[in-house]
Amino acid sequence: MLVFSNQKETVRQGELKEVTAKREKMKAKYLQSLLFLVSFIVTGCKTYEYQIIEPPNLAQTINKEPVVVHYEPFEYRFTKQAGYLSMRIINPTDDRMTLLDNRSYVVDPRGESHPIRGRVIGPHSHTSMLLPQTPQSFQRVVPNYGFGAWPGFPYPYTPYYGGFYDEFYYGPLVETYQVITPYNWDWKTGRARISLSYDRQGMTFEHDFVIERRVAK
């Protein structure tokens, strides 16, 4: 009986050590996550604003509230949108306007030129664009080695589909990827030069902006 009790006590001590070790690991992971969160709050919560530098007579700060400027014959409405600068071009005239893609461009803060997609702006209407333009995202099915074969499907599969486990439903793995083109560029901070060329009844005219992205004060 004494031997059995000692063995039982030894088992209990082993289980206690295992539980203690697991708790210590959980504490370490918790502290690591907490430190990462604090670091993100301290260093990663920067807010940005935009400043219209040129034309000088239109100089304004674009931050929380939308900014509307009149640049004959248009009105431009600038707003911040999820890390991008949204520019709405409003045509209040009776004429059709065409933004010419072969003459319009943007020069990023590093000095690289990028094209701007052309478009038609009908009378008393508007069009919008994001600066920089967001990359296009696509999805494709990729091989995923799992637990068997799906009849009629050429790739192996997994029962984890759509974020859930379902042993009766096996779907292919879908991968999302982005396509970067000359229309896409990074705008962390610095000045971008935007040149917009328009056609109005056979006559061309240009609107030029210099806009700076900077950390909000």
**Long-range contacts, 87-92 (Cβ 8 Å, 24+):** 87/128, 87/129, 87/130, 87/131, 88/126, 88/127, 88/128, 89/121, 89/126, 89/127, 89/128, 89/129, 89/196, 90/125, 90/126, 91/121, 91/122, 91/123, 91/124, 91/125, 91/126, 92/124
Residue 64 pLDDT: 87
Q: Is 105 helix (H, G, I), strand (E, B) or coil?
A: strand
- Please tell me whether residues 125 and 144 are part of one structural domain: no
Residue 217 — pLDDT band, cuts 50, 70, 90?
Answer: confident
**Which residues have C-beta within 8 Å of that of residue 12, sequence separation ≥ 6?**
none
Beta-strand pair 190-200/97-99: antiparallel
Phi (first) and psi of residue 46, to 5 degrees: -75, 140
- Please tell me whether residues 158 and 68 are part of one structural domain: no
Is the confidence at residue 195, as pLDDT, over 60?
yes
Q: What is the mean pLDDT of residues 6-18?
A: 56
- Please tell me whether residues 24 and 101 are part of one structural domain: no
Q: What's the CA gap between 174 and 157, in Å, rounded?
A: 11
Is the confidence at residue 4, as pLDDT, over 70?
no
The structure tokens listed for 2 are 């004494």
Residue 121 pLDDT: 98
Residue 152 — pLDDT band, cuts 50, 70, 90?
Answer: very low
The structure tokens listed for 146 are 């799992």
pTM over 0.75: no
Alpha carbons within 13 angstroms on the beta-carbon side of residue 210 total 9
Residue 10 pLDDT: 56
**Which residues have C-beta within 8 Å of that of residue 133, sequence separation ≥ 6?**
117, 183, 184
- Please tell me whether residues 142 and 211 are part of one structural domain: no
- Please tell me whether residues 210 and 121 are part of one structural domain: yes
- Please tell me whether residues 88 and 185 are part of one structural domain: yes
Q: Which domain holds residue 2?
A: 1-45
Report yes or no: 120 and 95 within 8 Å, Cβ to Cβ: no
- Please tell me whether residues 112 and 76 are part of one structural domain: yes
- Please tell me whether residues 40 and 116 are part of one structural domain: no
- Please tell me whether residues 19 and 115 are part of one structural domain: no
Higher pLDDT, 143 or 112: 112
Q: In this structure, how many other beta carbons lie within 10 angstroms of the beta carbon of residue 187?
A: 20
Q: How many domains does the chain have?
A: 3
- Please tell me whether residues 63 and 98 are part of one structural domain: yes
